[in-house]
Amino acid sequence: MPHTPLDGKRLLCFVGDIYEDLELWYPKLRLEEAGAHVTVAGPQEGVTYAGKHGYPCTSDAAVADMEVDDFHGVICPGGFMPDKLRRDENVLDLVHDFHTHKKLIAAICHGGWIPISANVYRHVRVTGSPGIKDDLVNAGAVWEDAAVVVDRHFVSSRKPDDLPDFCRGIIGVLTAR
């Protein structure tokens, strides 16, 4: 099998009820195609969560069992899911640990709510859904209206239409290390 750019990279992706279907599945499949192993973790292991548009996703693991040392980065899809997951101390501690270790933190659309609540966006250039622009700015982030914003180990995008740029940003950060 030929070498792919993300061979050996391990990524964590959050899932929960009413996740944005494309914002989870597109990066998961694209990054696996590039050679990464993607673990999907939700509040509980082995539970099937319904996406905003009804597409199911069964969690590989429970967030509480995840450790930052096992991964090169984390992906925070949007939808309504981030509003609930941002209240889970395990999620927040994990995202904060990814920041402490300067590992990839990627958020798209409303997924930015999770890094906001983990208190890792201060002085970070980001984008996201225009609906959370004020939340991002109030958290100390520097707002940019762009398809993708890459600032050190942070990658952010606005909406499903930005997914190709979002995935290129993620791959760029992971291959630069």
pLDDT tens-digit map of 99-118: 999 999 999 999 999 999 99
CA dihedral 133, 159, 62, 8 (to 10 degrees): -120
pLDDT tens-digit map of 121-145: 999 999 999 999 999 999 999 999 9
**Tokens, residue 14:** 């959050």
Confidence of residue 175 (pLDDT cuts 50, 70, 90): very high
Whether 83 is covered by a domain: the verdict is yes
The answer to whether the pTM exceeds 0.95 is yes
Whether 1 is covered by a domain: the verdict is no
Confidence of residue 1 (pLDDT cuts 50, 70, 90): low
Whether 79 is covered by a domain: the verdict is yes
Residue 2 pLDDT exceeds 80? no
Whether 3 is covered by a domain: the verdict is no
> What confidence score (pLDDT) does residue 4 get?
87
Average pLDDT (90-95) is 98
Residue of 53, 110, 123, 153 marked catalytic: 110
Confidence of residue 30 (pLDDT cuts 50, 70, 90): very high
* Bridging pattern class, strands 148-151 and 154-157: antiparallel
Residue 148 pLDDT exceeds 70? yes
What type of residue is 147?
Answer: A
Report the mean per-residue pLDDT for the chain.
Answer: 97
Whether 2 is covered by a domain: the verdict is no
Parent domain of 76:
10-175
Rounded distance, CA 59 to CA 44, Å?
7
Residue 79 pLDDT exceeds 70? yes
Whether 4 is covered by a domain: the verdict is no
Structural domain total, the chain: 1
Average pLDDT (150-163) is 98
CATH for 149:
3.40.50.880
Helix (H), strand (E) at residue 12: strand 10-14
Catalytic: 110?
A: yes
